[in-house]
Structures are given as structure tokens and as C-alpha cells.
Homo-oligomer: A and B are copies of this chain.
Amino acid sequence: MDQNSGFIAAVEEAKMGAAEGGVPIGACLVSKDGKILGRGHNMRVQKGSPVLHAEMSALENSGRLPASAYEGATMFTTLSPCDMCTGACLLYKIDRVVIGENVNFMGGEELLRSRGKEVVVVDNHECKELMSTFMKEKPELWNEDIAV
């Protein structure tokens, strides 16, 4: 699998979230050797969950793994990760976070960099469109998701 597939999977997950009437953010965790460990999308609406943001769903769907499985891994996410998802990437020592966009929301990128992680912002048009449409249509849901 080339590394683009991880990003494509994250965008697919975001679209699934949109189609389900949820928060349209997706993520995909890819191992050092290019294997998808887990993918998922925000489940606030679908499961009534305040913890299953996209990156958390991808981690949850990866199941229990030894620390070695996360070495050299990349978390692909369609939106800049919030404090919780940033912290989860730090806990699991995920080396690289590839972010679809950080225009609609800027998360913990500075903290990730300060802890030695590689942060790549793709600035993807489709990710931006998904989020800006959602934020316009369901501002209360978005505010709840990021606790403002």
C-alpha cells in the first residue's frame, strides 16, 4: 500500500460520517510497513460518544496492540487533531500525523511538533469543503464536539 491510501481511507471515513448525519471527520492509522491498522470516523452522533473522535475511532478499531506496532506509524486525519486526539497520538508515540486541513480548526500541531513528531498539513480542498459545509449546517453539533 502506498502512503496515499491512508489519506484516501481517512477521507472516505469522513464522507461516511457525513452520510450518517454525523461529524464528518475521518482518520486512518497506518503502520510503518504500510498496513492499515485501523480506520474510523467521529461517532458522537452514531454512538452518542464524546470520546470517539475520528482519530480515537481509528485507534479503537486497531484494537489492543503492543507498543512496537505503533513505531513508525502514521495517523492520517482529515482535520487538525483536537487536544484529546493529539494526546492519544502522543500516548501511543505515533511518529507522524498527516492532516487534511487546519483552516476550519487548528488543533495540537504545535504540541506534536514540540514532542518531536512530524506534522504534515496537506491542505486538501475536499476536507475543507466537508468541514465548512458541516459547520454552516450544524453549528451546535460542531460546538458540542469541540466543547465551545
- A44 contact set on B, CB distance < 8 A: 64
With both beta carbons as reference points, the residue of chain B lying nearest to A53 in the complex is identified as B91
Decide: A50 near B67, CB < 8 A? Known: A84-B87, A93-B147.
no
Decide: A147 near B91, CB < 8 A? Known: A44-B64, A65-B50.
yes
- A64 contact set on B, CB distance < 8 A: 44, 48-50, 144
Question: Quick one: copies of this chain in the complex?
Answer: 2
Q: Which of A62, A66, A147 has the most CB of B within 10 A?
A: A147
With both beta carbons as reference points, the residue of chain B lying nearest to A81 in the complex is identified as B87
**Contact across chains for B48 and A63 when beta carbons are under 8 A apart:** yes
- A85 contact set on B, CB distance < 8 A: 87
- A19 contact set on B, CB distance < 8 A: none
Instruction: Say if the beta carbon of A1 comes within 8 Å of chain B.
Output: no
What would 23 A/B residue contacts be, using CB atoms closer than 8 Å?
A44-B64, A48-B64, A50-B59, A50-B63, A50-B65, A51-B51, A51-B56, A51-B60, A51-B88, A65-B144, A67-B143, A67-B147, A67-B148, A70-B147, A82-B91, A83-B87, A83-B88, A83-B90, A84-B84, A84-B90, A85-B87, A87-B108, A91-B147
| Residues in A lying within 8 Å of B, measured CB to CB | 44, 48-52, 56, 59-60, 62-67, 70, 82-88, 90-93, 108, 111, 143-144, 146-148
